[in-house]
């Protein structure tokens, strides 16, 4: 089975658990005549393991370029009645065609970190 180009994973580092039910969107960014445009490619909701199990459209092969991942974290914290500094987290990354990219997000109400996973 071919792996999609993008996978994502969200962990709630404050609670020490996967972050379930976070909406994740992927956008292709481009600049034309000095104007930044973004095309939404796909969306997903993290599962009980905090992972994007499946995008709403296949993302098996994408072109090289700049992409943005948006994690809508506000509703996750709202559901727990927890105040957060980050209503969403956006990560912009450089992608090369033909490679797999795993985008983990380690999240707390007042901080986050990320890295290129495997």
* Residue 9 annotated as part of some ligand binding site: yes
Distance (Å, whole) CA 28 – CA 92: 10
The band of 7, judged by pLDDT with boundaries at 50, 70 and 90, is: very high
Q: Which CATH superfamily is domain 6-114 in?
A: Transthyretin/hydroxyisourate hydrolase domain (2.60.40.180)
CA distance 105 to 12: 9
What's the pLDDT score for residue 59?
Answer: 78
d(CA 46, CA 114): 16
Q: What is the pLDDT of residues 27-37, one digit of tens each?
A: 999 998 889 99
User: 51 among the known binding-site residues?
Assistant: yes
% residues pLDDT > 90 (the chain): 79
């Amino acid at each position: 089975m071919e792996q999609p180009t993008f996978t994502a994973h969200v962990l709630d580092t404050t609670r020490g658990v996967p972050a379930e039910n976070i909406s994740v969107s992927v956008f292709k960014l481009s600049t034309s005549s000095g104007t930044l445009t973004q095309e939404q490619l796909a969306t997903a909701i993290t599962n009980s393991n905090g992972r994007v199990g499946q995008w709403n459209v296949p993302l098996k092969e994408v072109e090289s370029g700049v992409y943005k991942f948006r994690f809508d974290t506000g509703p996750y914290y709202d559901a727990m009645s927890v105040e957060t500094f980050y209503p969403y987290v956006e990560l912009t990354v450089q992608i090369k065609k033909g490679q797999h990219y795993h985008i983990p997000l380690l999240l707390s109400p007042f901080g986050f970190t990320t890295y290129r996973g495997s």
